[in-house]
Amino acid sequence: MHRGGDYHEVEYFTKAYTEEVADALYSKTRNFSQTKQYTPRLMIIFTPCPPNLTKIFIKGGRINRLVVTWRMAKRGRLIVMIAVSIAILFLASGLPVTSNGSQNSGQNNPGGYVKYTLDLLNNTLINGNFVNKNNAIYPYGIAYDPSNGYIYVTDLGSDSVSVINGTTVIATIPVGAVPWGVAYDPSNGYLYVTDAGGDTVSVIDGKTNTFIAKILVGLHPVGVAYDPSNGYIYVTNELSDTVSVINGTTVIANITVGSEPVGVAYDPSNGYIYVTNFASGTVSIIATSVSTSSTSISSVTTSTTSTSTKPTPSSVTTPTTSTSSVVPTLVVVVVVVVVAVLIVALLMIKLRKP
């Protein structure tokens, strides 16, 4: 049989013509010696046509398409199982599952590299440089307390301060609205937090990690710095164009500076306080010691009235510490792997010849 087409027309000549055809050949003589006998013959007329789908679909006693699909599905399941196992092994071994660059990227950088990322939202420690796109805490200011070795971070989105010991958040302290900057005062062990949304400064006792006082200052306080020469705290009030000077829990002076003061820093080499004025494009230099020969660039207004303090200690929330990676990260990885495997399987089925 010929493959690839159908037999369109078949004519069988099976009858032997034994009668004399003399009348046709020799109509006058009827010479029977000239008689021809026709032997049986088979004539096949082949007409090409499209392949029969049934013959291709059902071949060799099995349904090819279903078999191919079933085999590819089995391969796909195997690949998914392998991919999920690899992701679980990465997670268990502490390697970063989702990160901005590999964990060891930048290790040859003399300035250092990101070894860990502490996610304050979920209180989880992640290896490498992890970028959280759904940030709801907005950590901003940061300070170190050498007396206890803790790190204090202001969380704008949650009106709190996170206390970090090593790579673990050990406490969360509620403070004023929109906590911005934070500074440590070694003379009394206090941490001063500027509450930009409440026009106050929250005071935290580093010995107990508790909120102990709230100090009223100017409008929208943001920057804060400590002067060890006199033990004062300097706070920039962005919308008041002033710097508040705090001693302990009392405002002892307000210094007028440039427009919209934001940053503030102390220079121990000369005893000056430097204030950046955002709107006026200047830096105000404040002389804090009477022994300094230079005078203050900005006029100084001394306030004789102090703000009364009403300590209202708040409870400290201690979250549960975890060192595992973020759970949604693994889910995303698994979904991506499954989708990729399905796409590859479909392409292989499509390109595979029957």
Domain ranges of the chain: 1-51, 56-98+328-354
Which amino acid belongs to residue 33?
Answer: S
Round to whole Å and give the CA distance between 261 and 275. Answer: 6
Which amino acid belongs to residue 138?
Answer: Y
Helix, strand, or coil (residue 28): coil
**Given a cut of 90, is residue 108 above it in pLDDT?**
no
108-112, 114-118, 157-161, 298-302, range with the lowest pLDDT? 298-302
Round to whole Å and give the CA distance between 92 and 308. Answer: 54
57-71, 201-215, 260-274, 336-350, range with the lowest pLDDT? 57-71
103-to-91, 117, 303, 334 alpha-carbon distances in Å: 13, 10, 53, 20
Residue partners of 210: CB distance under 8 A and separation at least 6: 173, 204, 313, 314, 316
**Given a cut of 70, is residue 267 above it in pLDDT?**
yes
Q: Starting at the edge strand that comes first in sequence, how are the strands of the sheet with 190-195 ordered?
A: 179-185, 190-195, 200-205, 210-216
Residues 220-229 have a mean pLDDT of 97
State residue 121's pLDDT score: 78
16-30, 81-95, 131-145, 305-319, range with the lowest pLDDT? 305-319
State residue 132's pLDDT score: 72
Give 3-state DSSP helix, strand, coil % of the chain, rounded to 5. 20, 35, 45
Overall residue count recorded for the chain in this entry: 354
Per-residue tokens: 324: 């595992």
**Given a cut of 60, is residue 317 above it in pLDDT?**
no
Residues 240-258 have a mean pLDDT of 97
Residue 279 and residue 286 in contact, taking contact as beta carbons nearer than 8 Å = no
State residue 320's pLDDT score: 40
Round to whole Å and give the CA distance between 305 and 284. Answer: 25
Confidence class for position 118, pLDDT limits 50, 70, 90: confident
Residue partners of 199: CB distance under 8 A and separation at least 6: 216, 217, 218, 219, 220, 221, 237
Round to whole Å and give the CA distance between 328 and 342. Answer: 21
277-to-33, 223, 256 alpha-carbon distances in Å: 134, 11, 11
30-34, 131-135, 177-181, 301-305, range with the lowest pLDDT? 301-305
**Given a cut of 50, is residue 38 above it in pLDDT?**
no
28-37, 55-64, 308-317, range with the lowest pLDDT? 308-317
Per-residue tokens: 202: 């929250």
Residue partners of 47: CB distance under 8 A and separation at least 6: 5, 6, 8, 9
Residue 100 and residue 131 in contact, taking contact as beta carbons nearer than 8 Å = yes
Helix, strand, or coil (residue 280): coil
State residue 308's pLDDT score: 37
pLDDT, tens digit, 9 for 90 and up, residues 162-175: 999 999 999 999 99
Round to whole Å and give the CA distance between 305 and 250. Answer: 9
Residue 201 and residue 209 in contact, taking contact as beta carbons nearer than 8 Å = no
Round to whole Å and give the CA distance between 195 and 236. Answer: 11
State residue 10's pLDDT score: 42
State residue 31's pLDDT score: 53
